[in-house]
Chain A
């Protein structure tokens, strides 16, 4: 019995080892092919107008997404994005009962949340004071025992919905769309944010059709705009070539035009 076991065991071990080697070789080859696979680059240039009289300018710090598949393949998703009824920033905060001063502070900086810019001392007390910031500062003084930390850590004492509730509500919508996109296209959705000139790069793209989408609308003047366009990525597309122009105004060079809607009036 023992004698017969040893050759059988040896044979089994050899088979397992050979199988393992074969699997490793396949994976390694697959990986090396993967790293050598031809890819393309998509350079976005996003230029917008807030109204017809205003000049075209780069849309800074706006996140764009690239979803695998054609517009037709992502029709339901695009429909969900276009039909979204997201509340505008001003409406969101006024509905929460935020002070006029806070709404104005956010508006001046075009901020989605209070994390967008520094809260200077002039917004704690004096004619420019924002009541929410004054209250947070006073709470911070008690908590930290010094003015410096109270002002630097001011956001930690602002109620969550006033702090970044608007941003979070948009993130919730964004995540729901991304989850749907990921489940339908079975690949990771890529995203980039534009720089100050409205330029952004998607790199290492497999060739094929994609939907370029902003998913979350952007407020431009009195309008809300959202982009959903089909892009064909070819192998050898390089960032040095002409950028892919995205805008809310028609032009012969514009390849992706926004769907524009008037911002809803606030319900009091």
Chain B
């Protein structure tokens, strides 16, 4: 009996399912329309991306450190050349032997010809950067710190003296600039071209890192990922964002008097564990110890009083007009011992 009924039940369920199939599939379509199959995008083999999944093996799979030619082109052991053919050809054999001038060659070579091995500059300056840099200021400041108290370590003029004595401080990496950074895309505000000494230099190559992190001291030269993190391709912005464009780090004003340690003004740098979101963080009190003292100078108060008389007055002692025409922040009024005021409220 049961044996006879089983096919019947199965048949009934089948009939019901078949009947419901169009309805169910309609529901399916209503819920989630089938995605259109994306058009196949042709791969541009003239561009190399570290973001490609298959390009994310250990860095040393392709990059040899130091490269064999370092003594010809560098003062120190470094990565000074593109990886050898073997790094690419194991996967890209078909692209390597495609036509007389394979496109893939142009990633590294200035001429795409099997008879010519001229290479582009490494790394290619015109190509977007693919990595950001991790740098913990706090750790580095700790390791060059002293065991005990020692007097006067200063930046600017005094710092150079300290470096002359051989004691390390921020100047180790941030020396005085000898040339101006590239102008901002829109040009210098008000046509005010700052002096080179306005800014501090920053490390531009591995020489500032490898002298300690060559081997053993992690992240070592072989451990690229210890410092370089994959990012969305970007252009390096050299022009620094400055609020007080007229402040000269190594000029020290008319009297050459900016004698202080970097961290005296950049008060938050010693807690910075990363470069992400790092801001210069100079409080107005760092300036007004000298620039807004009764009997000394009243540079801030004078300009605040000028706004009292003319709400459209532009502060120019420290700032260019992009900043100087804004409402002064409450901190400026505070050190002038006045209640904060908006320009629109000036009568």
- Interface residues in chain A, defined as those with a beta carbon under 8 Å from any beta carbon in chain B: 1-2, 5-6, 9, 48, 50, 57-63, 89, 106, 109-113, 115-118, 120, 144-145, 148-149, 152-153, 155-156, 160, 163-164, 167, 171, 190-193, 195-197, 199-201, 203, 218-220, 238-240
Contacts and interface: CB of A to CB of B under 8 A. Distances in A.
Contacts of A163: 217
B285 A2 contact: no
Interface centre among B145, B168, B214, B263 (most CB of A within 10 A): B145
B8 to A, nearest CB: 24
B168 A116 contact: yes
B148 A110 contact: yes
Rank and list the top 3 A-B pairs by shortest CB-CB distance, nearest first: A118-B166, A193-B270, A201-B267
Nearest to A156: B214
25 contacts: A1-B27, A48-B149, A58-B151, A59-B149, A60-B149, A60-B150, A60-B261, A110-B148, A110-B149, A112-B146, A116-B168, A153-B76, A153-B211, A160-B216, A191-B138, A191-B270, A195-B261, A195-B263, A196-B151, A196-B154, A200-B263, A219-B147, A219-B148, A239-B285, A240-B285
Given A2-B23, A118-B168, A63 B153 contact: no
State which size class the interface on B falls in: 35 or more
Contacts of A62: 145, 149
A240 B23 contact: no
B143 A115 contact: yes
Given A117-B166, A203-B267, A9 B149 contact: no
A164 B144 CA distance: 10
B103 interface: no
Given A113-B143, A240-B335, A2 B149 contact: no
Interface centre among B24, B151, B165, B215 (most CB of A within 10 A): B151
Nearest to B207: A152
A108 B109 CA distance: 53
Interface centre among A57, A145, A155, A196 (most CB of B within 10 A): A196
A199 B261 CA distance: 11
Contact of A196 (B76, B153, B267): B153
Contact of B145 (A155, A160, A193): A193
Interface centre among B71, B147, B153 (most CB of A within 10 A): B147
A111 B76 contact: no
A164 B154 CA distance: 24
B75 to A, nearest CB: 7
B151 A57 contact: yes
Interface string B241-281: 00000000000000000001101100110110000000001
A149 B150 contact: no
A9 B263 CA distance: 59
A128 B231 CA distance: 48
Given A5-B31, A61-B145, 19 more contacts: A1-B23, A1-B27, A2-B26, A50-B148, A110-B146, A112-B143, A116-B145, A116-B146, A116-B167, A117-B168, A118-B166, A153-B214, A192-B270, A193-B142, A193-B263, A195-B263, A197-B264, A199-B264, A238-B334
B23 A145 contact: no
Given A192-B270, A193-B270, A1 B24 contact: yes
Contacts of B285: 239-240
A220 B149 contact: yes
Contacts of A197: 261, 264
Contacts of A220: 148-149
Nearest to B264: A195
B175 to A, nearest CB: 14
A267 to B, nearest CB: 19
A94 B153 CA distance: 28
B141 interface: yes
